[in-house]
Structure 1
Amino acid sequence: MGNEGHVSSWRQPHSSRRPRALSPLREHLRDTFWFAPTAGLVCSVLLWWASSALDMALVEHLQREGRYELLRGLISVVNDAKTIVTTISSAMMTFIGVVFSISLVAVQMASGQLTPRVVRIFIRSRISKLTLTVFLATFLFSLLVLTSYESERNARRVESVPVVQSIATMLLVGLSLLLFIGYVSSTLRLMQVGPVVDRIAQESLGMLVRLPVGSADSVPLPPETSRIGHQGHAGVLLDIHAARLVRLARRKGVVLRLIPRIGDFLVPGTPVLAVHGGAAPRRFTPGYTVSVGVERTFHQDLGLGLRQLSDIALRALSPAVNDPTTAVQCLDRIVQLLASFAGRPLGEVRYRDRRGVVRLVQNVPGWTDLVDLALAEIRGCAVHAPQVTRRLFAGIDDLLLIVPAERRAPLLRHRTLLLQAVERTAPSADERRFATSPDRQGIG
């Protein structure tokens, strides 16, 4: 009771969104490529079982009504369809192998031209997973349907005529063809720079919507009493299970603070959670609430979108590629993301329990950190590309009109550094004047 009263001063008049319990699990499943096809195979077995039961019910009804002529007609049609089902079952697996071999080549080309981190876009693509799921489900379903065909049939003694199963097979094949067209179209789009940077921006904006609003006040935390270290394998901090941490902190009457940021690399023993206002929970393992992996994800990582856009722009500005137009497309989305962050409280987010008491504090990048991440490296590589410097000046000027006055300093700093770099690099006054003229299209 003493600890509960000690942290009751952390009630805030504005309550943040409460964390959702299944959010990390859903995001982790989206980052896998096995879950959807596996679920599709299970559904195909259930569909075959249901359609087989309907076929048996249909045969029993026709036999009971004495409609043997109609039943013989259905048997004839089904025997003709058997050839089609056999062809489907033998060709579908080959079709799957050819399609996805080509897709892997496309993914490799996109990762080589842009950045290896865009491979995750293909993994999370819903159309890719749905296409593979339907292809595999069609293949398995057609094999199961073949077991329902009988070599010899008598209308008076037949137990099942796979009419519904044959129709379902044809429908699955038609759906597979439609999805194949959509999949090819989607894959070709993701090989282009514009759709890729747009997808990165949309992922980042979606994550920003899910993230609880940061706190603008400076209410101090209760005194820190202990720290809990990382006990699992080394890796990147992917996300935290905020709902579990909030429940744990509420039961113990403490406030937990996440020490590293999402995206930091952790080694065993690294402090992960700081306990404020009470004793640390006994027998608590951070692995139950903290996810560590090999590569950053968009789930709770505020800076990942800017990191990926910066990587693509830097590769485009390298002497080996020399593609300033791609860098300008990345800057368009970078300005969009920074404008979305402009009016949002940053630096930390606070999770509350059902009573509105702060139970978990998460450290997130501040405004200066995000501006430096978005502009510093591109600014250093853009001095020899007037198209990029002009877009940078235009983007910074647009942001200066949007952001609050207290957030203008890092933008002005980058503008001054860019201006100085261009003045040192450009040999003539006319070239300096041209390279420092703001232009939203770079060189429109």
Structure 2
Amino acid sequence: MPKLHAVRAIWDGVRTSLWFLPAILGAMAPPLVYLARSLDALFDGNSLQGNAAWLYRGGPDQAREIVATILSAIGTMTSLVFSITMVVLTLAAGQFGPRLVRNFMARRQTQLVLGTFVLTILYALLLLSALGKEQQEGTFPSVTLAIALAALCLGLLVVFIHHLATSIMSETLIEAVGGELDDSVAKLDPAEPEQSSDVDLPQDFDQRAAFFGMEGFGYVQSVEIDQILDAARRADVVIGMDLRAGDFVIANGRAFGIYPAGRATQALAAQIRAAIMLGPHRTPVQDLEFPIRHLVEIAVRALSPGINDPYTAVSVIHRLSAAWPQLTKRTVPTGVYHDVKGRLRLVGPNIDHAGLINAAFSQIRQAGAGMPLVLIHLLKTFRSMAPCTRCAAQRDALAAEIEAVIEDARREIANSADLRDIEEHAKRALLQLQP
């Protein structure tokens, strides 16, 4: 039975697909046709006709012609919508990176528009086959519903075009990915950073442990910690993991070790493998760096010679810093886990605030090392982040990034006035870091 994190990883893949919501809306077409035809039978020759002047009234041939016209028109509009969507996805992949296409596909507005068009086409198609020539002239609520759906599609087409025009703006995309980062941070446990554990594996772990690999390859999409802890407790072993969510693993490589080796069995190794879900791509489930990497990719591509858009990179820097105040109030996973009795059972790779700062800003600094604008905004950002630090480790991490900016500037910036400006901003940022 899939566990919580595995289900979340599967759900993330489903909700970010273009077929999910259209499939649900498309499945509503048959019962909708059945209900509409039931209303046709209710209104046929009934005294209710006098109170329903807004409903379509005519012969079956005219009704079929109207539905056929709607079917043809909506089919053409659907082709247009899909074509526009593909063009936008191509542009987004070229400018922001192919991994950002996921964010466009996950937008509910796009899925809703496509789903409504699919619903209308299936409804018109089924209704066309249900309208029989043997019927007499009368009132057809089913045709009125088809007309209403067509009008809804026309309105959604205008909204959809406006939505696509705004969605390819860099600020819109940056905010969308930044929202994912905020959600990931909000899922972390609130705690003081100073409470991070220094527990490590036994000193003779490498000598006395039995090591195993995964049977397949791919990115680690989720790790069921509770399932591994339960297996380790029942076998009375300590497990050392060499991977975490977001890592890429190869078949039969070193993935985890079981200590001591005498208690390691193939059945136990299979239980641990079953708790690790692999896939062809990374997911935000348990992977705090996932949205950070997406934001960084936007900035790095913007700083490439082919695009040369430093202002987009500056916007990314600002959005990354916006998550810092909440991140410092959260405890990032330490990779150390105990069972219910407090005994050490699992030690895996950890990530700390310094690693997250490095992941967020180092690549941007490297790509923009020769651009004073980017370096100055990095230093201004570090200065604004400094008051939010809550421990010496966080201050040291920020100080290391500031020193790296100074080193890159002295190597890459030829203009002495620009260099003095950068050094002045760095001095102010370092002063702000003093406790």
Read off the aligned partner of 1:172 and give its amino acid letter. Answer: L
Task: Specify the alignment match of 1:9 in structure 2.
Answer: none
Shift of 1:138: 0.8
Q: State the secondary structure of the residue aligned to 2:220.
A: strand
Task: Specify the alignment match of 2:430 in structure 1.
Answer: none
Cα distance in 1 for partners of 2:408, 2:49 equals: 89
Shift of 1:190: 1.9
What are the within-5 Å matches in structure 2 for residues 134-153 of structure 1?
134-153=116-135
Q: State the secondary structure of the residue aligned to 1:127.
A: helix
Task: Specify the alignment match of 1:431 in structure 2.
Answer: 418
Contact in 2 for aligned 1:148/1:162 (Cα 8 Å): no
Read off the aligned partner of 1:208 and give its amino acid letter. Answer: V
Q: Which has the larger displacement, 284-293 or 334-343?
A: 284-293
Indicate how the Cα distance of structure 1 residues 208 and 81 shifts in structure 2: closer, same or farther if over 3 A, else same.
farther
Structure 2: unaligned runs, 5 residues or longer: 427-435
Cα distance in 2 for partners of 1:354, 1:77 equals: 73
Read off the aligned partner of 1:231 and give its amino acid letter. Answer: E
What are the within-5 Å matches in structure 2 for residues 13-92 of structure 1?
22-56=7-41, 58=42, 67=47, 76-77=57-58, 79=60, 80-92=62-74
**Correspondence 1:199 to 2:176:** yes
Q: Which has the larger displacement, 271-280 or 118-127?
A: 271-280
Cα distance in 1 for partners of 2:140, 2:347 equals: 60
**Correspondence 1:264 to 2:247:** yes
Percent identity for Structure 1 against Structure 2? 25
* TM superposition score normalised by structure 1: 0.79
**Correspondence 1:419 to 2:406:** yes
C-alpha distance after superposition, 1:318-375 (max 9, x if no partner):
2332221111111111212344322322352577999999977664422222122222
Read off the aligned partner of 2:276 and give its amino acid letter. Answer: V
What are the within-5 Å matches in structure 2 for residues 256-335 of structure 1?
258-275=241-258, 281-282=267-268, 284=270, 288-335=274-321
Task: Specify the alignment match of 2:432 in structure 1.
Answer: none
C-alpha distance after superposition, 1:275-298 (max 9, x if no partner):
569755458366644332222222
Q: State the secondary structure of the residue aligned to 1:291.
A: strand
Task: Specify the alignment match of 1:129 in structure 2.
Answer: 111
Shift of 1:225: 5.9
Task: Specify the alignment match of 1:380 in structure 2.
Answer: 366
Q: State the secondary structure of the residue aligned to 1:348.
A: coil
Read off the aligned partner of 2:80 and give its amino acid letter. Answer: V
**Correspondence 1:93 to 2:75:** yes
Cα distance in 2 for partners of 1:412, 1:296 equals: 30
**Correspondence 1:229 to 2:206:** no
By relative contact order (CA 8 Å, sep 6+), the higher-ranking structure is 1
Structure 1: unaligned runs, 5 residues or longer: 1-17, 156-160, 440-444
Read off the aligned partner of 1:114 and give its amino acid letter. Answer: F
C-alpha distance after superposition, 1:102-157 (max 9, x if no partner):
221122112212222211111211111111111111101111111221213248xx
Task: Specify the alignment match of 1:393 in structure 2.
Answer: 379
Contact in 2 for aligned 1:48/1:145 (Cα 8 Å): yes
Q: State the secondary structure of the residue aligned to 1:384.
A: coil
Q: Which has the larger displacement, 406-415 or 290-299?
A: 290-299
Task: Specify the alignment match of 2:87 in structure 1.
Answer: 105
Cα distance in 1 for partners of 2:405, 2:248 equals: 31
Q: Which has the larger displacement, 301-310 or 167-176?
A: 167-176
Indicate how the Cα distance of structure 1 residues 337 and 71 shifts in structure 2: closer, same or farther if over 3 A, else same.
closer
Q: Which residue of the other structure, out of 160, 174, 182, is the alignment partner of 2:151?
A: 174
Contact in 1 for aligned 2:70/2:147 (Cα 8 Å): no
Contact in 2 for aligned 1:19/1:351 (Cα 8 Å): no
Q: Which has the larger displacement, 208-217 or 312-321?
A: 208-217
Contact in 2 for aligned 1:212/1:350 (Cα 8 Å): no
Contact in 1 for aligned 2:369/2:405 (Cα 8 Å): yes
Contact in 1 for aligned 2:81/2:114 (Cα 8 Å): no
Read off the aligned partner of 2:97 and give its amino acid letter. Answer: T
Read off the aligned partner of 1:84 and give its amino acid letter. Answer: I
C-alpha distance after superposition, 1:213-234 (max 9, x if no partner):
68733456788965552112x2
C-alpha distance after superposition, 1:57-93 (max 9, x if no partner):
x15xx66xx7498699978446444433211111222
C-alpha distance after superposition, 1:248-274 (max 9, x if no partner):
567767676643122211111134455
What are the within-5 Å matches in structure 2 for residues 218-257 of structure 1?
218=198, 226-232=210-216, 234-241=217-224, 245=228
